[in-house]
Chains A and B, each alone.
Chain A
Amino acid sequence: MKLTLKIWRQTGPTENGSFESHVLDDVSEDSSFLEMLDQLNEQLLKQGNEPIAFDHDCREGICGTCSLTINGYAHGPENSTTTCQLHMRKFNDGETVTIEPFRAKAFPVVRDLIVDRSAFDRIIQSGGFISVRTGSAPDGNSIPISKVDADKAMDAAACIGCGACVASCKNASAMLFTSAKAAHLNLLPQGQAEKDARVLNMVSTMDDSGFGNCRNYGECSAACPKDISLDYIAKLNRDHAKAKIKEIFS
C-alpha cells in the first residue's frame, strides 16, 4: 500500500516544530506501524535526509516506550493497543496519516517524535514504593491477600507508564497513571503503612510537574493500551481526601 505521512519534525525542546510530508510506497500490511517508520527512515537515508527520531524498544507492547499520536489518537485508533502493536492492515491504501508526538507541557519534545516523560519517574520517586530493605521481608505467605484484592492490584499494576493517558487528555492530566500506581500499592496490605503519605506526595509531585487537572472525560482510559480503569482515579480521589482530612486533624 501507499501512504502519505504527515510527520512532526522538531530539532529540540525550545525550537519550533512543523509538519513534513512524505510519500511511502510498498508498505506491507503485515508490518507494524513502527516497521513502517523504519521503512520510511531507510528511504530518508537513501535520499540523504535525516531519519525521523521516535521512541521504541520492546516492540511487543509491554515496555511503554513507543509514544506516537496517530491521526489524533494516542497509540492510534485501535483500542487496547500500543503503537508498536498497531499493524498497517488497519490503514487504507492512499490514506494520509498524521503522526505527532505526545503533547503536554510536562512532556517536552526531545526531538521529532521523542518526548521526555521523566515526570512520571518523579511521581514514582515521591511515593510509588513500599519501603522495605532488601533481606528484611517476612515469608511471602505470612500475609494472606484475598484474590479479589490481589487481582485488583494487578489490574492497576499492569500500567506500562507510556503516557497515552496524558496525551489523550485534553488537559494533559496524569491522573490515570498516578492513580494506577498509587492504587496498586494502596490496595495491598503491605502498602497500608505509607498509604497516606504516598497519596499526598504523589499528587503533589504530579501537580508540580505541570500536568493538567482531571475532568472526568474518560479519554485516558479509552486510550490506555492496558485498559486501566477510571475506578483507580476515584480511588485516588477518595484516598487523597481521607489522607488530607487525617492530616488536618492530626
Chain B
Amino acid sequence: MNLDPQIPDGPIADKWDNHRFSSKLVNPANKRKYRIIVVGSGLAGGAAAATLGELGYQVDCFCYQDTPRRAHSIAAQGGINAAKNYQNDGDSIHRLFYDTVKGGDFRSREANVYRLAQNSTNIIDQCVAQGVPFAREYGGLLANRSFGGAQVSRTFYARGQTGQQLLLGAYSALSRQIASGQVQMHTRHEMLDLVKVDGHAKGIITRNLVTGSTDAWTADAVLICTGGYGNVYYLSTNAAGCNVTATYRAHRRGAGFANPCFTQIHPTCIPVAGDHQSKLTLMSESLRNDGRVWVPLDGKNCDKNPNDIAEELRDYFLERKYPSFGNLAPRDISSRSAKEACDESRGVGPGGRGVYLDFADSISRLGESAIRERYGNLFQMYERITGENAYKRPMRIYPAIHYTMGGLWVDYNLQSSVPGCFVLGEANFSDHGANRLGASALMQGLSDGYFVIPYTVGNYLASTGAGTISPDGPEVKEVLESVKERTSQLLSISGKKSARSYHKELGQIMWEYAGMARNATGLQKAIGEIQDLRDHFQKNLLVPGTGDRLNVELERAGRVRDFIDFGELLCRDALERNESCGGHFREEYQTKEGEATRDDENFAHAAVWEYKGEGKTPVRHKEELQYENVKLAVRSYK
C-alpha cells in the first residue's frame, strides 16, 4: 500500500503556495470534458461540488437525503474557527495550527493542519459573501467567542446554528450550479460501491432509494464526502441515516482506513432514557460555563431528589480533580470523569448513567433571567426531551459519541490510497489527529471542499487526461453485479431479527468495550462478540419486501452489515494502539492520577488498515508522522 503523504517541500508556511504553483492545471476549455462524482452534500461535499461545477467540470453529486440541504453538517451548533485575529488577542495562522496539532494530541499531519489554518480565513470571507448571517457586534463587524478552552477568541458563529448556516451557504452555491446545469444532483441515492479501472477510481454504484434501481455512474475522479462513522455505536449524536458504507466500501476496494479508533466523545449530551432511544441529543458545551458538574458522594443517594442532597454530600468531581480548569476541563477528560463516577455506582437518572449539571449557583448569583437569556433554548430543548425543568432541578448529562477523527487515509492532496478517489471532511483522517478541537470540524469540511480539492483534483486530472469510461464496461458491470448479488443475499436470509436490533446489539458491544475507555481484554472480547454477531446476522436477518422499490429495512440492513465489519476494524485498531491519546483511552496506559499516557516513541504514526478480503485479518500499515514545527509535549489540564 502506497502511503506516501506527498508533503510538498519548503518551510511549512510556504508548502501550500509551492504546491499550488507546482500543481498542473486543467485548461479552462477542457474542464467540461471531465466528469467528477461527489458523494455526500454536506459542508465538504456541497462545497466541493459547487466549486468544481463553478470551475467548469461536469459534476454528479449524490446524497441519501431528499435534498442536499439536510446533510448532518446542519446539526453543528457551536461555531467555526478562523485565524482572523479580529480580536487583536494574539491569534495567528501559526497559533491555530499549533493549537490544532496539540489539541489532536500529536497524531495529525503537520502540513495538512497548517494548510487548514491558512484556509480558515478565506472560509469566513467566502461565507460572509454568500450571505451567512454570522453574529455581529453593534458596530456591524463580525463577533467572535472563545470556544472549547481556546485562549483566543477565534470562533465565528451564527447563534447556536452555525453548521446549519454554513451548510445553507454551501447549498445555495450548489443550487446555483445545479440551476446552471454544471452539477447534476442525485438525491435519495446511496453509494454502495466504488468502481476501479486499472487501479484508478472511475465510478460508483448507487441504489436509488425511491425506485430501488442499482446503477453505475462513471467519472474521471470520485470524491467521497460522506462524514463520520459515529453510528457504529448505534447511539450517537449523528443523524439516523449517517453510515460508514461509502467509506467502508471504498476501503474494501483498496482505500486504506486510518485510525478508526480515534472517536470523540462529547461530554454534554442528554442521557439515555430507556430502551426505545434511537439517538442522543447534544447540548452546547457552553452550558459548562455556568453549570457545575456533580454526583452524590455516596451511591445510596443517587435516587434522591438532587435538591435534597446537602452540599457536603455532593462530589463536584471536575472541580476537585482539575482545580484550574474545573467544569471547563477538555471534552475527553470531562467525559471520562463522568464515566468513572458512574462506574463507581454514583451515576444518576435511569440506568445510573448520568451526572448532574447544576445551575443553582449561577441562578442565585446572576438570576434566573440571566440564565434564561443565555441558555433559554437549551433549557427548553432539555425540558422537551426529558420533561424536567432545569431551572428547578439540575440537568442530567452524560457523554455520547459525537465525532470521529479517523477515516480513509489521504495524502496531502486528499487522495486516498486508491488514485482518483479523494476523501474530504470528516470522512478522511488527516487534520484532527486523535482529538478534534471544538469549532474545527466545520472549518475542515469547508477548507477541503472550497479551497483544497479544486487544486488537487485538477492536478490529478491534468496528469491522467480526460476519458470517462462507459458505464457498460466490463469492470463496471462486474462491480454492479456484485452489488446486486449482495442486495439479493440480504433479502434472501429471511430470518426473524430486524436490522435495527442487530445495530443495537453492535452498539452495546462497541460502547461497552470500545467506548470512552478501552482495554486489551475488552477489545479482544468485543472482536469475538462482533464476529458472532455477524454470523448471527447472516443467518437470522429479516428484511421484508423486495429490492425494486423504496425499502427502508433493506437500506438499514446494508448499512448495519458494514457497521459490523467496521466495528471489528475499529476494535482491532484500538487494540493495536498501545497508548492513550486524545479520544483513544486505553486503561493500561495511564498515570497514577488517571491521565492518559501517550507513547510517542512507538505510536507517533497514523495506523492505516488494508483490507485483505472477506474473513481475512486486515493488515496494519504506518505513516510515520514528523513533527518539525511543533514540539511534542504532554497535554496538561491540571
B323 at the interface (CB under 8 A from A): no
Using A45-B498, A53-B550, A55-B66 as known contacts, say yes or no to A62 and B274 having CB atoms under 8 A apart.
no
Judge whether A117 and B67 touch: CB under 8 Å: yes
Judge whether A140 and B70 touch: CB under 8 Å: no
Tell me the B102-141 residues at the A interface (CB within 8 Å): 122, 124-131, 133-141
Residues of chain A lying within 8 A (CB to CB) of residue B381: 61, 85
Judge whether A190 and B171 touch: CB under 8 Å: no
Judge whether A28 and B544 touch: CB under 8 Å: no
Residues of chain B lying within 8 A (CB to CB) of residue A35: 276-278
**Residue from the set A58, A125, A160 with the largest chain B CB neighbour count within 10 Å:** A58
Using A60-B282, A85-B381, A157-B165 as known contacts, say yes or no to A50 and B545 having CB atoms under 8 A apart.
yes
Which range holds the interface residue count of chain A?
35 or more
Judge whether B544 and A51 touch: CB under 8 Å: yes
B100 at the interface (CB under 8 A from A): no
A197 at the interface (CB under 8 A from B): no
8 Å CB contact of A139 from B125, B127, B161, B237: B125
Contact with A along B66-98 (1 / 0, CB 8 A): 111110101100000000101000000000000
CA distance A118 to B75 in the complex (A): 21
Residues of chain A lying within 8 A (CB to CB) of residue B496: 46
In the assembled complex, the CB of B226 is this many whole angstroms from the nearest CB of chain A, namely 14
In the assembled complex, the CB of A3 is this many whole angstroms from the nearest CB of chain B, namely 13
Using A28-B273, A116-B66 as known contacts, say yes or no to A188 and B133 having CB atoms under 8 A apart.
yes
Q: Residue of B at shortest CB range from A65?
A: B70
Residues of chain A lying within 8 A (CB to CB) of residue B277: 31, 35
Contact with B along A19-63 (1 / 0, CB 8 A): 000000000111110111011001001101111010111111111
In the assembled complex, the CB of A137 is this many whole angstroms from the nearest CB of chain B, namely 4
Residues of chain B lying within 8 A (CB to CB) of residue A124: 69, 171-172, 175
Tell me the B565-597 residues at the A interface (CB within 8 Å): none
A220 at the interface (CB under 8 A from B): no
Judge whether B239 and A58 touch: CB under 8 Å: yes
8 Å CB contact of A141 from B86, B187, B240: B86
A158 at the interface (CB under 8 A from B): yes
Using CB atoms and an 8 Å cutoff, list the residues of chain B in contact with chain A: 47, 50-51, 54, 65-70, 72, 74-75, 84, 86, 122, 124-131, 133-142, 158-159, 161, 164-165, 168, 171-173, 175-176, 178-179, 185, 187, 210, 237, 239-241, 273-279, 281-282, 381, 384-387, 450-451, 454, 496, 498, 500-501, 542, 544-545, 549-550, 552-553
> A147-B137, A157-B165 are known contacts; what are 4 more A-B pairs with Cβ within 8 Å?
A42-B500, A58-B75, A137-B125, A191-B131
Of the A-B pairs whose beta carbons lie under 8 Å apart in the complex, a sample of 18, sorted by A's number, is A30-B273, A50-B544, A55-B66, A56-B240, A57-B239, A57-B241, A59-B239, A85-B381, A110-B210, A114-B550, A121-B67, A130-B129, A132-B130, A145-B140, A150-B135, A151-B133, A151-B136, A185-B131
